[in-house]
Amino acid sequence: VYYNNHVVSSKFVPLLPPLTGKEITFEWNTSGVSPGNYIISASAGPVEDEIEIDDNVFIDGIITILPVPIFCDVTVTWVHAEPTDVTSEEKVQIEVKVANLGTSPQSFNVLIYYDDVLIAAQQVFELAPCSEKKLVIQWNTTCVREGTYTIKAY
């Protein structure tokens, strides 16, 4: 089986009796094939002593490969702060993991908060599709009142 002049796959058919046919299924993995229109064809033989070979090629038609749709989907997958008990003026290390679940590289800002107060903004540049990145900041708790806070990232 071919698309244009490129082989998709081939299979061996053993001992096909005269005047009979056999249906064969092929799967075509199109990843890595550029978007466009492709002519699909199949060929058989020739076999030993075959006289009529004009019918050994069959052209099925045109298959259109479409481009992968582009969508954007960045997400925060994990937030961790340590130590969790500090006195004023101690530093807290905050780690944030972000992921790009989309189909194209993405650049974006990550905002890190304690409750509703902004601690830091970090830029992520050209994060590849299906990848993640860990960001680490040091939060200086000077001037932060005693209390229990929730660390969030957006």
Domain ranges of the chain: 1-67, 74-153
User: Is the backbone of residue 5 left (phi > 0), alpha (psi -120 to 50) or beta?
Assistant: alpha
The average pLDDT across 92-106 equals 97
Inter-residue contact 107 to 126 (CB < 8 Å): yes
pLDDT at 109: 98
* pLDDT the model gives residue 14: 85
pLDDT at 108 over 90: yes
Q: Please compute the mean of the pLDDT values over residues 98-110 and round it to a whole number.
A: 97
The stretch 87-115 carries a mean pLDDT of 96
**pLDDT given for residue 19 in this prediction:** 86
Q: Is the pTM of this model over 0.85?
A: no
Q: Is the pLDDT at 72 greater than 90, yes or no? A: yes
- Domain 74-153 sits in CATH 2.60.40.10: yes
Residue 92 burial (CB count, 10 A): 20
pLDDT exceeds cutoff 90 at 131: yes
pLDDT at 130: 95
pLDDT at 45 over 90: no
Q: Name the token pair of 116.
A: 């509703």
Question: Is residue 137 a contact partner of residue 110, using CB atoms and an 8 Å limit?
Answer: no
Q: What is the model's pLDDT at position 47?
A: 84
Mean pLDDT of the chain: 93
Would you state the pLDDT for residue 95? 98
